[in-house]
Amino acid sequence: MAKITKLDDIVSLCKRRGFIFQSSEIYGGLASCYDYGPLGVELKSNVRSAWWKAVVQMRDDVVGLDCSILMHPLVWKASGHTDKFADLIAECKKCNTRTRVDHLEEKFAEQAQEHTEHVAIDVAMAKAQDLTNKVCPNCGSVGRFTEPMPFELMFETQMGANVDDSMTLYLRPETAQGIFANFRNVLDTTRVKIPFGIAQIGKSFRNEVTTKAFIFRTREFEQAELEFFCEPGTDEEWFRHWKEARFNWYIGLGLKKENLRFREHDADELAHYAKACVDVEYRFPFGSGDWQELEGIANRTDYDLRQHQRGMRTLNKWFENDRDLTKIELSNEAEDYQSGPLSYFDDEKKQRYIPYVIEPSAGIDRSALAFLVDAYDEEEVRGEKRNLLRFHPALAPVKVGVFPLVKREGMPETAQNIYNDLKKYFNCFYDEKGAIGRRYRRQDEAGTPFCITVDGQTKEDNTVTVRERDSMEQIRVSTDQLLSHLREKLDL
């Protein structure tokens, strides 16, 4: 049975070692926003690179994209976000705190049941039960709630300096729509043929009602999304393919299998666009150790491309109505929509159709948290507590620590030379301060897989000590073999 790590331990290590800080801390902090410090920025960039490597670099059927965060407002009308991307909330009449209706607990509920999904607002409305028995999580009053009401999750902003060209825009709540909006561009400029995917990593923003648990749910976060376009009828097979590929990605990067599972969505839980959806869940250490969504994999059918064809037909209406989304309805679908501007022509089958889409959608911050939690360990070594992060080498912020045993007899110079050589290949850290044991412990806590120490013997036989983080085993390696030795061990 895996040890359950307390979130507090992770938060404190992250702060102490410069992984993650509260945003705007010098001004008292900004709720639910976080900054990544020197070690955190490396970790996060390694998570991104590992995703990109698996999803784009290693495949012949996926290309990348990087879209702007601000997009045409009709994108969000077509995608359904301006009408449906809201949480159902109720306000406590006693303390005025607003809570998501699906987060409210029954008075006599035995245990807190946290549902973390945003459900389509119409489904939520239909399900919004009687709130008379529900407890306010802030003040504890029972049944003092207002009628449930929708709360918009998209952040609005204004663009343009002049009255006649300024308009309301939204910070994107997901990166996926930028991919759909560029589907035609990618088709026209590359040689991709269906089945193929377009991948993107970037920031998304949601004005979440409840944020919680450190970087698990924040209002600004990073997503890694793939839209994989396939022929209708092959979608279920591709769904299975991506489900397995994404699960294995986490395992391959060291997440313990017993902390990872799938959760299939019930039919009434499915988002309005999805035919099937499965979450990859991780056992996060909140409360007594809860299973929570790490990544969602959805079969979005041909919904989005069809919707954007409708969006394109709505453009004139939008101009005629002072570019005000609230005054317009999306145009109907053209009868011959299967041959519309976002359709695909299959050269071999001489067929035109709107492709189906399988979407694995992961969170970079949420994955980084899962990797941190899973790697965190405490053990006792010779009567002393040792904290360590057992990161997979690909994720470790620093790959190699280089130390002189003492600050004399030419050891610092030799160690510096080794450090200067190795840093061309991996992220290294040079340290000559303090007792060697303490230097090792500091690197253990940062998750550094290997430490190299130059000592008295180095001058005699050109060997150094290579210490492995997890086992603490030390071997001697000759300096001219050092790079190949480390490359092999780190698999870099």
Residues that bind ligand ATP (CB under 6 A): 116-118, 174, 206, 208, 217-218, 221, 223, 293-296, 361-363, 365-366
Q: Is 51 or 426 the residue whose CB approaches ligand ATP more closely? A: 51
Q: Are 485 and 466 in contact (CB under 8 A)?
A: yes
Q: Is 5 or 361 the residue whose CB approaches ligand ATP more closely? A: 361
Closest CB 115 distance from ligand ATP, rounded Å? 8
Residue indicated by tokens 């010779």: 382
Q: Is 220 or 432 the residue whose CB approaches ligand ATP more closely? A: 220
Closest CB 107 distance from ligand ATP, rounded Å? 25
Q: Which of 356, 75, 58, 353 is nearest to 228 (CA)?
A: 356
Q: Is 260 or 436 the residue whose CB approaches ligand ATP more closely? A: 260
Residue 198 burial class via C-beta count within 10 angstroms: exposed 0-12, middle 13-18, buried 19 and up: buried
Q: How distant is the alpha carbon of residue 434 from its chain centre?
A: 37
Closest CB 228 distance from ligand ATP, rounded Å? 15
Which residue type sits at 141?
S
Closest CB 225 distance from ligand ATP, rounded Å? 7
Q: State which residue has the least CB distance to ligand ATP.
A: 363
Closest CB 144 distance from ligand ATP, rounded Å? 26
Residues near 75 by beta carbon (within 8 Å), at least 6 away in sequence: 177, 181, 308, 311
Query: What is the rounded distance in angstroms from the CA atom of residue 115 to the CA atom of residue 444?
Result: 36
Q: Is 294 or 454 the residue whose CB approaches ligand ATP more closely? A: 294
Angle at 299 between CA 82 and CA 229, to 5 degrees: 95
Residues near 465 by beta carbon (within 8 Å), at least 6 away in sequence: 452, 453, 455, 474, 475, 476
Closest CB 100 distance from ligand ATP, rounded Å? 10
Query: Sheet of 62-64: strands edge to edge?
Result: 62-64, 196-205, 220-230, 356-363, 290-301, 276-284, 260-264
Query: What is the rounded distance in angstroms from the CA atom of residue 484 to the CA atom of residue 240?
Result: 39
Q: Is 250 or 356 the residue whose CB approaches ligand ATP more closely? A: 250
Q: Is 155 or 430 the residue whose CB approaches ligand ATP more closely? A: 155
Q: Which of 382, 365, 478 is nearest to 33 (CA)?
A: 365
Closest CB 295 distance from ligand ATP, rounded Å? 5
